[in-house]
Amino acid sequence: MTTEQAAYRRVLRRETHSSRSVAAVVAASVAVVLLLALLVGGVWSLLDRRFGDAASARIAELTSPDAGRVSLIVSGAVAVVVALILLLLAVLPGRRARRARTTERVALLVDDGVLADAVADAVAARCGIDRRQVSVTLARRRVTVRVTPTSGIRIDESAVAETAVDTVSDLGFVVTPKVYISERGVVA
């Protein structure tokens, strides 16, 4: 592998995956604030005995069975939601709606919206309908084409699927087509 190909791969990876730095900075900031609060509270309780006693009394009051459990339930629910969000950010792939491809000399990065517009234009031209009557959505491995025909004109579903696949494969990407043709047409 040449250095150019390694650079292409690194740049394309950076452009097709979202950064986790914001979530990491937020998590680290929250952890630092909590640790600093515990440190300040610990030092303060060593210097002033009344503060330590007051803090212990307040903690005992919040966790006692007599007190309303609302504050405990709310704080627990908030902690679970934050933990779940951080876990999902760590586990989910974080892919952006872009596709990447490399050759020996060129790295190609295509936004899914641009590719969907190209597919919609090609399908509209092939079927002889207005561009506004075609809607295209790209998923990771599938292209979904929704066509609303002009009233009285039949649209060939296989031609739509073939056009969608050809348009995407011309750029070197492989997708499976899913075509929906509306039963109700529009008036020309």
Q: Are residues 105 and 156 in the same domain?
A: yes
The rounded distance, in Å, linking the Cα atoms of 140 and 160 is: 19
Inside any domain, residue 146: yes
The rounded distance, in Å, linking the Cα atoms of 121 and 170 is: 14
Q: In this predicted structure, what is the pLDDT of residue 173?
A: 82
Of 45, 66, 91, which closes a domain?
A: 91
Of 76, 91, 106, which closes a domain?
A: 91
pTM of the model: 0.61
The answer to whether 12 and 107 have CB atoms below 8 angstroms apart is yes
The answer to whether 181 and 155 have CB atoms below 8 angstroms apart is yes
Q: Which SS3 state, helix, strand or coil, does residue 149 take? A: coil
Q: In this predicted structure, what is the pLDDT of residue 68?
A: 62
Neighbours of 2 (CB within 10 A): 8
- Helices and strands: H and E segment counts in the chain: 6, 5
**What percent of the chain has pLDDT above 90?**
12
Q: Are residues 48 and 116 in the same domain?
A: no
Of 91, 124, 156, which closes a domain?
A: 91
Q: Are residues 64 and 87 in the same domain?
A: yes
Ramachandran angles phi, psi of 181, nearest 5°: -110, 120
The rounded distance, in Å, linking the Cα atoms of 177 and 163 is: 10
Residue-range definition of the domain harbouring residue 77: 18-91
Q: Which helix (H) or strand (E) holds 180?
A: strand 176-181
CB hemisphere CA count around 93 (13 angstroms): 7
Inside any domain, residue 125: yes
pLDDT at 94 over 80: no
Q: Are residues 86 and 102 in the same domain?
A: no
Q: Are residues 80 and 103 in the same domain?
A: no
Q: Look at 15-19, 20-24, 72-76, 168-172 and tell me which has the smallest mean pLDDT.
A: 15-19
Total domains present in the chain: 2
Neighbours of 177 (CB within 10 A): 19
Taking only the tens place, the pLDDT of each residue in 107-165 is: 777 788 888 898 999 999 998 888 899 999 888 889 899 998 888 888 888 888 999 98
The Cα angle at residue 184 between residues 176 and 136, in degrees rounded to 5: 30
User: Long-range pairs for 121-130 at CB < 8 Å and ≥24 separation?
Assistant: 122/163, 122/164, 122/166, 122/167, 123/147, 123/160, 123/163, 123/164, 123/167, 126/159, 126/160, 126/163, 127/155, 127/156, 127/159, 127/160, 128/153, 129/153, 129/155
